[in-house]
Amino acid sequence: MDADNQTILEDIFRAVFELDETDRIESIKRNNFPAWDSMAHVALISAIDDEFDLIMDTQDALRIDSLASCISVVERYLN
């Protein structure tokens, strides 16, 4: 994934989970971050759909549990 798209994903994470610039997004996992509940997950997928103009499949959406997995899933759609 190119740097611009990765920045967009990082910005989405910061906006959805209300993170500061200093927070390390890479360390956030769905199972270790209480703010990442089902509603936040839906908001995350909705924001990604909007920013990248795609409609993510439910199975792909469920695979996302970190920034790394998110980059991997979105990259497939962009390619």
Partner 1 sequence: MKFLEASRRVHASNPSKHINLLVASSANLANLDIYLKAEFVERDFRCHVDYLPFNTLPQYLVAPAVNTEQQILILFPWDFLPELDWRTGITESEPDFDECLTRLDEFEQLVSESNHLCVYVDAPTPPVFISLEKDKSIKRKLRQSANGLCYVLFDADVFNLGSYLESGIPLSGKACGLIAAKITKKLNLENQIACKILVTDLDNVMWHGVIAEDGYQAIQCSPSGRGYTHFIYQTYLKKLKHSGVLLAAVSKNDPDLALLPFVKNEMVLNDSDFVTIQASYHPKSNQIKQISKELNLNVGDFVFVDDNRLEIEEVKRAIPDIKTVLFPESSQYIGAFYAELTQNFNIQQVTTEDQNRTSLYRTRLAGLTSSDSQGSDLTQFLQKLNMTITINIRSHGKNERALQLFNKTNQFNINGIRLERDELDQKLISGYTLYTAGVSDRYGDHGEILACLLDDKKNIEMLVLSCRVFQRRIEYFFLRWLSTQLKPQIKHRLQLLYRETERNTPVRHFFDENAIDYSGEMVSIDMTKVLNDIPDLDSLFKLMPID
Binding site for partner 1 (CB under 8 A): 8, 11-12, 15, 38-39, 41-43, 45-51, 53-55, 57-58, 61-62
Render the burial of 14-23: b for 16+ CB within 10 Å, e for the rest.
eebbebeeee
* Helix 3-17 vs helix 67-78: crossing angle, to nearest 10: 130
Q: Which two three-digit tokens encode residue 51? A: 């920013």
Question: In angstroms, what is the minimal distance from the CB of 8 to partner 1?
Answer: 7
CB-based contact 33:14 (threshold 8 Å):
no
Question: In angstroms, what is the minimal distance from the CB of 47 to partner 1?
Answer: 4
Smaller CB distance to partner 1: residue 15 or 35? 15
Question: In angstroms, what is the minimal distance from the CB of 2 to partner 1?
Answer: 17
Position of tokens 């970190």?
A: 66
Smaller CB distance to partner 1: residue 30 or 41? 41
